[in-house]
Amino acid sequence: MTSRTSNKLNKVTGRTPLLSFGEAIAIVSQRLNASSGRAAAVVREALKSGELRIIRDDHVDPISGSLFAIVEKDFIDWLNRQMSSIATMPLAARKQPDRERARQAAIELWGTAGPPDHLSNSLICREVGEWLKKNGQAADVGDATILRAVGRR
């Protein structure tokens, strides 16, 4: 996958090679042999890392509708550093880390049988959320994720 502008053109124009979000997803998908959804999650993780330069671009990304693009070199460098940890991470941990943490919290609270039937969904969400916070694992785990983790959705 090449960026929107070729390296030869960039040497002539002096422009920084850029990637749209869609192009970054395609690179990850190809490198990891992953689905586009999984690749998009990796790109989001890269963006959250704070290690990428995002700059305004005059080309609207057809996937995200964004007027911003990722500096190609930053993204490739980040991806190269992350490849071993991304590739060796268990699939469940890669795809659903919040749900897995919520499931573990529910097991700690109620055992493998899960929450009792008489508990309301809101009480389950509150208790799991409190347990996650108390154990330093809360990172905006939503109620829907918690309810899926305990089999209520």
pTM comes to 0.47
Least Cα distance to 46 among 70, 78, 93, 77 occurs for 78
Domain borders along the chain are: 7-90, 96-149
The region that residue 25 occupies, defined by phi over 0 for left and psi between -120 and 50 for alpha, beta otherwise, is alpha
Q: Over the chain (153 residues), what is each successive 10-residue block's mean pLDDT?
A: 44 71 87 80 87 79 72 90 66 63 89 90 93 79 91 87
